[in-house]
Amino acid sequence: VDWTGRQIKTDKRGHIESSQLPILERLGLDTHTWLKVCTQIEKGTLIGSAAAIESVLPQLNRQRRAGLQIP
């Protein structure tokens, strides 16, 4: 996604300026963490901050916070 956004013309939607940090750096993630997140998605695991995971538990009829927490 990062590479694609940098290839888009500057006047088009989705363009990422070359001066901006890579997306994973801006999210505070390293490649190892990102790959772990991607593999957990396939297992139906909740992914997000502790607060975000906590907020959706009632909607999912869950009581325990089991998921991958990212900053």
pLDDT at 15: 94
Is pTM beyond 0.75? Reply is: no
Handedness of CA 29, 30, 33, 37 (dihedral sign): positive
Q: 3-class SS at 47?
A: strand
pLDDT string in tens for the chain (71-residue length) = 889 999 999 999 999 999 999 988 888 888 888 888 788 777 767 777 888 888 988 998 888 776 656 66
**Where do the domains of the chain lie?**
22-71
Calculate the CA dihedral of residues 3, 5, 9, 15 and round it to 10 degrees.
-150
